[in-house]
Amino acid sequence: MPRRPDRRMPEAINKELRELLEDFQQKLALDDLRERVLALVPAYHLLRDLGSSLMLAEDVSAARDRILLYFQKYPITVIHGDELMVVSGIQDWPRRTRELRREYGWAIASGVTLKEMSVEGEISIEGVNSSSLRPEEYILLSKTQDREAALRWKIANDIRRTKQAVRDKILEFLRKNAGSAVTGEELRYVGNDKTEWARRVRELRTEQGWPIATHNTGRPDLPIGVYILEKDRQSPVHDRNIPDPVRRAVLVRDGYACRMCGWNHNQWDRSDPRNLELHHVKEHAKGGENTEENLISLCNVCHDKVHSR
Ligand SMILES: [Zn+2]
Ligand SMILES: [Zn+2]
């Protein structure tokens, strides 16, 4: 039944709730189950109002706004769904949380997505043990709103419904958004929420040579939880199969800059949208190994030059 939320101060609601629960002591003696149940209903409502009244001073009346404000007060912090239930005062807080992510572009990552990213070495969040996060936990990764998100979710929804392997769906989504950041939440959704999604992304990078970068793998300037297909082209076959830890070590050693011209991502420009690639000093085909010693970072322009020689 629809009811108007109680907009009193928490002290007043708390007092009424306590009185109600004291009265309930007598109701417990009633024989009729239904009478006992009905007597408890107002207490449930009051408890919910009590939760949402905790944010009364913030002057946000909609449940969704209270959820957002709560996240914004505690960014990069593990928030349990139960907390969102309390501050929102509504039962369908998961739906509101999803709307904040999909329609409003807030970087609210779920524990399950972050855990799967952490297993593949794509994220490490200071002070958070990402590998033990649970599905009912959430983290607001960034305080910046991404206004392109709603459009991407629409594209993700279309691709999700196609009949393709998870890896192909993810690749199609990344290629449609080439050059722009997408979130792990989106990739997981495109892959029909299958646990394998994070591994498939890594395979696209390491086995198929798609330049997919994250904060941990090649682009420390990117926010955590974000993936970007830097260019819509695969690296040559001989430059594939480089394990992520080796790739990371080479890029760190080279200071995330081209070893020939010194280009780094701070110089990125729309008219000259370069990216960094790894090149084998001793050709892979001639027995050159995928080791830190045999690899150097080159921008794609210098890399092309080296190979056309
Ligand atoms: Zn270069
Ligand atoms: Zn090369």
Per-residue confidence at 2, pLDDT binned at 50, 70, 90? low
User: Rounded to the nearest whole angstrom, what is the distance from the C-alpha of residue 242 to the centroid of ligand 2?
Assistant: 12
User: Rounded to the nearest whole angstrom, what is the distance from the C-alpha of residue 239 to the centroid of ligand 2?
Assistant: 6
> Residue 280 is part of which domain span?
238-309
Q: Which of 87, 92, 85 is nearest to 60 (CA)?
A: 87
Q: Tell whether 265 is covered by a domain.
A: yes
Q: What is the pLDDT of residue 1?
A: 47
207-241 pLDDT, tens digit each: 999 999 999 888 988 999 999 999 999 988 877 88
From 82-91, 167-176, 238-247, 290-299, the region with the lowest mean pLDDT: 238-247
Q: Tell whether 285 is covered by a domain.
A: yes
User: Rounded to the nearest whole angstrom, what is the distance from the C-alpha of residue 230 to the centroid of ligand 1?
Assistant: 16
Q: Tell whether 293 is covered by a domain.
A: yes
Task: Show which of 26, 54, 82 is a domain's final residue.
Answer: 54
* Dihedral in degrees, nearest 10, Cα atoms 309, 306, 202, 220: -170
C-alpha to C-alpha distances, 4 to 7, 47, 48, 61, nearest whole angstrom: 9, 14, 12, 12
User: Rounded to the nearest whole angstrom, what is the distance from the C-alpha of residue 257 to the centroid of ligand 2?
Assistant: 15
Q: What's the pTM? A: 0.88
- What average pLDDT score do residues 127-132 get? 90
Ligand number with the minimum distance to the CA of 242: 2
Output 213 or 6, whichever has higher pLDDT: 213
Ligand number with the minimum distance to the CA of 275: 1
Ligand number with the minimum distance to the CA of 304: 2
Per-residue confidence at 146, pLDDT binned at 50, 70, 90? very high
Q: Tell whether 158 is covered by a domain.
A: no
Q: Tell whether 174 is covered by a domain.
A: no
User: Rounded to the nearest whole angstrom, what is the distance from the C-alpha of residue 238 to the centroid of ligand 1?
Assistant: 19
Distance CA 186, CA 205 (A): 17
Residue 88 has pLDDT above 90, yes or no: yes
Ligand number with the minimum distance to the CA of 238: 2
Residue 10 has pLDDT above 60, yes or no: yes
Residue 7 has pLDDT above 80, yes or no: no
- What average pLDDT score do residues 119-131 get? 89
Q: What is the pLDDT of residue 218?
A: 85
C-alpha to C-alpha distances, 25 to 18, 28, 29, 180, 247, nearest whole angstrom: 11, 5, 8, 60, 66
Query: How many domains does the chain divide into?
Result: 2
Q: Tell whether 40 is covered by a domain.
A: yes
Q: Tell whether 64 is covered by a domain.
A: no
- Interior/surface letters 67-86, b for 16+ CB within 10 angstroms, e for the rest: bbebbeeeeeebbebebbbb
Per-residue confidence at 31, pLDDT binned at 50, 70, 90? confident
- What average pLDDT score do residues 280-286 get? 83
Distance CA 99, CA 90 (A): 14
Ligand number with the minimum distance to the CA of 302: 1
User: Rounded to the nearest whole angstrom, what is the distance from the C-alpha of residue 99 to the centroid of ligand 2?
Assistant: 44
Mean pLDDT of the chain: 92
Task: Show which of 35, 54, 73 is a domain's final residue.
Answer: 54
The percentage of the chain sitting over the pLDDT mark of 70, rounded to a whole number, equals 98
Q: Tell whether 50 is covered by a domain.
A: yes
Q: Order the strands of the 79-80 sheet from edge to edge.
A: 79-80, 137-140, 108-110
Q: What is the pLDDT of residue 269?
A: 85
User: Rounded to the nearest whole angstrom, what is the distance from the C-alpha of residue 214 to the centroid of ligand 1?
Assistant: 21
Output 1 or 64, whichever has higher pLDDT: 64
C-alpha to C-alpha distances, 77 to 1, 142, 193, nearest whole angstrom: 35, 11, 23
Distance CA 103, CA 287 (A): 50
Distance CA 200, CA 82 (A): 32
- What average pLDDT score do residues 118-142 get? 92
Q: What is the pLDDT of residue 3?
A: 67
Ligand number with the minimum distance to the CA of 236: 2
